[in-house]
């Protein structure tokens, strides 16, 4: 029996994140399209459609963090990319991953505090009447997964995704 690839869990996680993004985008599109269509035809839309679309967008954004991280497509300043000699690249890559892992972990902790306070206050969405904290829970989950991913890349820098370079024409 062959040994499973050590990135198998990352591939499964990325697949789940892509499926969540696809689902969220479909819900967002369906809600907004239906609302606009009904508003144009009957003069009145679906009162909750925009709020559902907003919630779907939140899911889309926070599932997208993992996709961006897995492909090295997240936004970051690249001004210092060529300041240090190429011989330092392996150290710099590991340092970047460590800093990002710590940063994501810190954001996750702060987000947990916010979610906990929202849960304590029993805050609900004005339109839907749903508790707010389950949707907010996506924030610490997304940053925890990003932190784990960056920590993995720190310990196994050979798996750091390489951004596709577009040749200058």
- The tens digit of pLDDT for each residue in 64-88 reads 988 888 877 776 666 666 787 888 8
Beta bridge partners of 124: 131
- The tokens of 80 are what? 């210092």
pLDDT in tens, 40-69: 989 888 989 999 999 999 999 999 988 888
Whether residue 8 is predicted with pLDDT greater than 50 in this model: the reply is yes
Pairwise CA distance, residues 150 & 142, whole Å: 12
3-state secondary structure (DSSP) of residue 73:
coil
For residue 2, what pLDDT is reported?
46
* DSSP notation for 14-26: HHHHHHHHHHHHH
Which candidate, 10, 156, 148, 137, places its Cα nearest to that of 70? 10
Read off the pLDDT band of 28 (50, 70, 90): very high
Q: What percent of the chain has pLDDT over 90?
A: 54
Give the residue-averaged pLDDT of 18-42.
Answer: 94
Give the pLDDT confidence score for residue 20 in this predicted structure: 93
Across the range 143-167, mean pLDDT stands at 80
Task: Give the integer Cα–Cα distance in Å for 71 and 94.
Answer: 16
Buried-state track 106-120, b at ≥16 Cβ within 10 A, e below 16: ebbeebbeebeebee
Report whether pLDDT(29) > 90.
Answer: yes
Average pLDDT, the chain: 86
Residue 147 has pLDDT above 60, yes or no: yes
Would you say residue 167 has pLDDT above 80? no
pLDDT at 108 over 90: yes
Asked whether the predicted pLDDT for residue 22 surpasses 90, the reply is yes
pLDDT confidence band for 6 (50 / 70 / 90): low
């Amino acid at each position: 029996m062959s040994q499973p690839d050590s990135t198998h869990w990352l591939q499964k996680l990325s697949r789940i994140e892509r499926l969540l993004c696809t689902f969220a985008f479909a819900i967002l599109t369906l809600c907004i399209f239906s609302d606009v269509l009904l508003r144009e035809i009957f003069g009145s839309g679906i009162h909750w459609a925009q709020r559902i679309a907003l919630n779907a967008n939140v899911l889309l954004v926070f599932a997208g963090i993992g996709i961006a991280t897995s492909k090295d497509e997240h936004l970051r300043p690249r001004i210092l990319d060529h300041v240090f000699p190429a011989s330092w690249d392996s150290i710099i890559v590991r340092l970047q991953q460590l800093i990002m892992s710590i940063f994501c972990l810190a954001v996750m902790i702060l987000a947990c505090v916010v979610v906990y306070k929202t849960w304590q206050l029993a805050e609900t969405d004005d339109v839907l009447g749903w508790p707010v904290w389950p949707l907010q829970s996506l924030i610490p989950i997304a940053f925890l997964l990003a932190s784990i991913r960056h920590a993995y890349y720190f310990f196994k820098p050979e798996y750091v995704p390489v951004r596709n370079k577009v040749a200058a024409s």
